[in-house]
Amino acid sequence: MTEYQRALRQFARDTAGRPDAIARLHQDLQDRVGPPMAPEVLREALSPAEGAAERVEHRLGMEIRVARTPRWPVVAALSLAAAAGAVWFLQEEPTAPKPIESMASEEDTILPTPVPSPKKKVQVDPPEVAEVVAPEPQPENAPSVETLPPPSAVSGPLNQALASNTWTRLEATEHVEFQFRGDGHLGGSDAAPRIDWGTGTLGVEVEPNQGIDLRVQTREATVRVVGTGFEVTRNDLGTIVHVRHGRVAVDCVDGQKASLGKGESLECLPNSAAGLLARARALYHQPAPAEEVLSNIDLALTRAPRGSSIEAELLYLRAEVLLASSSPDARTAIESFIASSPPVRRTEARRLAIHAAVEAGDCEAALLHRTFLNDQEATKQVLQDLALCAPTE
């Protein structure tokens, strides 16, 4: 091989696209036209013209391969054309497929074959979501709904876990179908399915006039149905039942009872101190009005064991809500909580006390509470609060 041939081959290698440039092109094209279209646009832009491969093969006398000595001018011409095309494509429509590793050696140059377009996934719209709940927003191109096989083809008791982080469809029996995202358990029989639903949203379709006695049980409610379509959503706020069509009977553990028709909903509240604590926290972080949060806390305190960690958590949350709402009772609530030597939230209460004291202009009290915190416990917020108490020159 002459020095001139080596120089041309080196030029071809030096002008080849770098992997990082190809990756940037690919990402830019996805941002412009979207991931589903990027491979198609790229393939149309970079694929050889119709009949080009056959013409090159005929001229070179081999399968997409350049001869060693007599064809070096063709190699140079193809390399220069590829480099010019890459520069033009970078300027006009940046994109690229997955990086193609170079297979060239000192003796051979191989033309890359077009990258095939990836397989497209078939997408199915998710089920309806209860209107009274604020579920995670669904994108315009909704995710696929996974379909599970029926529990069993053999007649007998039903026994299957219902657990999925994505929308999943299950034909529970011949006349009952579920679409769910969450956790629960299916039991009972074909004629009387029983669902113990823990958390998330469960959509149920029961074929009418088939004598099906289906029931869904949560901590807050029991839902009974003969033939209808409805949804049960359970979260920290409680259990929400929404009827799409037909009619269902709902019994809440707090004593509420209702017969719901098409488009109607009912929310069953938690009944335990722990459940009401979770609901109060969820309301506080929405954020709901302070009066509504405090009402849930006060109800929970009537059901919490005295001196328990749950009672302490409720009292701390009450002080936090009062302070956030600029209530004049906030400092009193915080100081009372600290004085009770609670089993939890002592450090957090000191931080609240510092913030409340600084807001009230009581730097002496704020500095006193600081002495109960070590350096690791003194957060950025604490230091910012105490900076307001620093003497000014």
Residue appearing with tokens 């999943």: 168
CB atoms within 10 A of CB 367: 14
- Dist CA 327 CA 309 (whole Å): 25
> Which CATH number is 146-268 given?
2.60.120.1440
- Dist CA 368 CA 381 (whole Å): 16
Q: Maximum distance among all alpha carbons in the chain?
A: 95
Tokens matching residue 292: 């509504």
Closest CA to 265 of 139, 128, 168: 128
- Dist CA 163 CA 180 (whole Å): 8
Residue appearing with tokens 């119709």: 50
Tokens matching residue 170: 């299950």
Considering the chain, tell me which residue range(s) the CATH 1.25.40 domain(s) occupy. 273-387
Query: How confident is the prediction along the chain (393 residues), in pLDDT tens digits per residue?
Result: 676 567 667 766 766 656 566 666 666 666 655 555 555 555 555 555 555 555 545 555 543 333 344 444 444 444 444 444 444 444 444 444 444 333 333 433 333 434 444 443 334 344 333 333 333 444 444 455 666 655 554 456 899 999 999 999 999 999 999 999 999 999 999 999 999 999 999 999 999 888 899 999 999 999 998 678 999 999 999 999 999 999 999 999 989 999 999 999 999 999 999 999 999 999 999 999 999 999 999 999 999 999 999 999 999 999 999 999 999 999 999 999 999 999 999 999 999 999 999 999 999 999 999 999 999 999 999 999 999 988 765
Tokens matching residue 187: 């039991």
- Dist CA 62 CA 153 (whole Å): 59
| CATH classification (class only), 273-387 | mainly alpha
Contacts of 165 (CB under 8 A, 6+ apart): 181
- Dist CA 218 CA 268 (whole Å): 10
Tokens matching residue 314: 């409720």
Residue appearing with tokens 């497929």: 97
- Dist CA 100 CA 91 (whole Å): 20
Q: Where are the alpha helices (DSSP H) in the chain?
A: 3-14, 19-33, 38-46, 52-60, 72-92, 273-284, 290-301, 309-324, 330-339, 346-359, 363-370, 380-387
Sign of the Cα torsion 283, 288, 292, 298 reads positive
Cβ atoms of residues 344 and 316 within 8 Å: yes
Contacts of 112 (CB under 8 A, 6+ apart): 100
CB atoms within 10 A of CB 303: 17
Cβ atoms of residues 148 and 169 within 8 Å: yes
**By three-state DSSP, how is residue 326 classified?**
coil
Pairing status of strand 176-188 against strand 160-171: antiparallel
Phi first, then psi: give them for residue 350, nearest 5 degrees. Answer: -65, -40
